[in-house]
């Protein structure tokens, strides 16, 4: 094992520690104010509802090219990927609309 392998393992460990800290520390901080958890829970529920809508809209069609050996894409996986893409498009458009509306309201004031 050379030094590059060791550094890759160390970087993987640091990423895991950072992700755990990013999730756990805000939860610990929010225990002081449980009402803040309600806002986070509502946002999570809204994202889940949005994903469910996008998932039901998406098409599960799999072309023969992607059903073959290297990909082995199933109809369920195709529907999940399509739902994820649709949700990404919706959130991107919403973010851009929010930016435009904010800038217009700032210019008007």
Between CA 29 and CA 33 the distance in angstroms is 8
Same-domain status, 47 and 72: yes
2 vs 6, 8, 10, 14, 70, CA distance in Å? 7, 10, 13, 19, 31
Whether residue 1 is predicted with pLDDT greater than 70 in this model: the reply is no
Domain holding 48, by residue range, is 34-108
- Of 41-45, 48-52, 85-89, the range with the lowest mean pLDDT is 41-45
User: Which pTM does this prediction carry?
Assistant: 0.68
Same-domain status, 12 and 49: no
Over residues 18-43, mean pLDDT: 85
The pLDDT score that the predictor gives to residue 35 is 80
Over residues 45-61, mean pLDDT: 93
Domain count, the chain: 2
Which among 24-33, 41-50, 56-65 has the top mean pLDDT?
Answer: 41-50
Same-domain status, 94 and 66: yes
Residue 83, exposed/middle/buried by CB under 10 A (0-12, 13-18, 19+)? buried
Same-domain status, 74 and 88: yes
């Amino acid at each position: 094992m050379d030094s590059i392998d060791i550094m890759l393992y160390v970087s993987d460990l640091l990423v895991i520690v950072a992700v755990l800290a990013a999730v756990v520390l805000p939860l610990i901080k929010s225990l002081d104010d449980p009402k803040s958890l309600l806002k986070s829970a509502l946002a999570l529920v809204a994202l889940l509802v949005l994903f469910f809508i996008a998932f039901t809209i998406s098409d599960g069609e799999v072309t023969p090219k992607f059903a073959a050996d290297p990909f082995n894409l199933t109809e369920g996986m195709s529907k999940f990927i399509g739902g994820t893409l649709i949700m990404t498009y919706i959130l991107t458009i919403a973010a851009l609309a929010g930016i435009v509306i904010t800038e217009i309201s700032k210019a008007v004031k």
